[in-house]
A and B are shown apart, each in its own frame.
Chain A
Amino acid sequence: MISSRFSKALSWAYLIALYGFIFLPVAVLVLFSFQDGRLPVPPFNGATLKWYAQVFADDRLMSALGNSLMVALGSSTVACILGFCAAYGLARYILPASRLQRGLLVAPMTVSYLIIALGLLSTFNWVGISLSLWTVGIGHVVINLPLCFAIIYASMGDHQKNIERAARDLGAAEWQVMTQVSAPMLMPSILAAFFLSVTFSWDEFIISFLLSRFDVTLPVEIWSMLRSGLNPKTNAVGSIVFLVSVALLLILELIVFRRTAKK
Chain B
Amino acid sequence: MTAPVSIRNATKTFGDFTALNDVSLEIEAGEFIVLLGPSGCGKTTLLSLLGGFLSPSKGTIEIAGRDMGQVPPSKRPTTTMFQDYALFPHMTLRDNVAFGLKMRKIGKSERHAKAEELLDMVGLKSSADKKPHELSGGQRQRIALARALAVEPDVLLLDEPLGALDLKLRRQMQDELKAIQKRVGTTFVHVTHDQEEAMAIADRIVVMNGGKIEDVGRPEDIYMRPKTLFSASFMGEVNFIPGTLDAATDDGVHINTILGAVKLPATALCTPPIKAGEKITLAIRPEHFRASTGTGPRITLGAAKISDGAFFGTHHRAHLSPVDYPNMTITAHMPQSAIIEPGAWIDLTIDPASITVLPGHPSAAKQEDAP
State the A residues within 8 Å of B (CB): 159, 162-163, 165-173, 176, 181, 184-185, 187, 262-263
CB proximity to A under 8 Å, residues B38-55? 51, 53
Chain A nearest Cβ from B80, distance in angstroms = 5
- Asked if B183 is at the interface of the complex by the 8 Å CB criterion, the answer is no
State the B residues within 8 Å of A (CB): 51, 53, 72-75, 78-80, 82, 84, 86-91, 99-100, 103-104, 133, 147-148, 151
**CB<8 Å pairs between A and B, sample of 25:** A162-B84, A163-B87, A163-B88, A163-B89, A165-B53, A165-B80, A165-B82, A166-B80, A166-B87, A167-B103, A169-B51, A169-B74, A169-B78, A169-B80, A170-B100, A171-B100, A171-B151, A172-B74, A172-B99, A173-B74, A173-B103, A181-B88, A262-B133, A263-B89, A263-B133
Chain B nearest Cβ from A130, distance in angstroms = 43
A159 to chain B: which residues have CB within 8 Å? 84
B72 to chain A: which residues have CB within 8 Å? 168
A172 to chain B: which residues have CB within 8 Å? 74, 99, 103
B74 touches A171 (CB 8 A): yes
Name, among A163, A170, A172, the residue most crowded by chain B CB atoms within 10 Å (CB to CB): A170
B51 to chain A: which residues have CB within 8 Å? 169
A163 to chain B: which residues have CB within 8 Å? 86-89
Chain A nearest Cβ from B9, distance in angstroms = 25
| CB-CB nearest in chain B for A173 | B74
A162 touches B82 (CB 8 A): yes
B87 touches A171 (CB 8 A): no
A170 touches B133 (CB 8 A): no
Contact of A176 among B73, B90, B103 (CB under 8 A): B103
Contact of A168 among B73, B89, B147 (CB under 8 A): B73
Chain A nearest Cβ from B100, distance in angstroms = 4
CA distance A162 to B53 in the complex (A): 11
A170 touches B90 (CB 8 A): no
Question: A172-B103, A176-B103 are contacts. A185–B74 as well, Cβ < 8 Å?
Answer: no
Chain A nearest Cβ from B172, distance in angstroms = 24
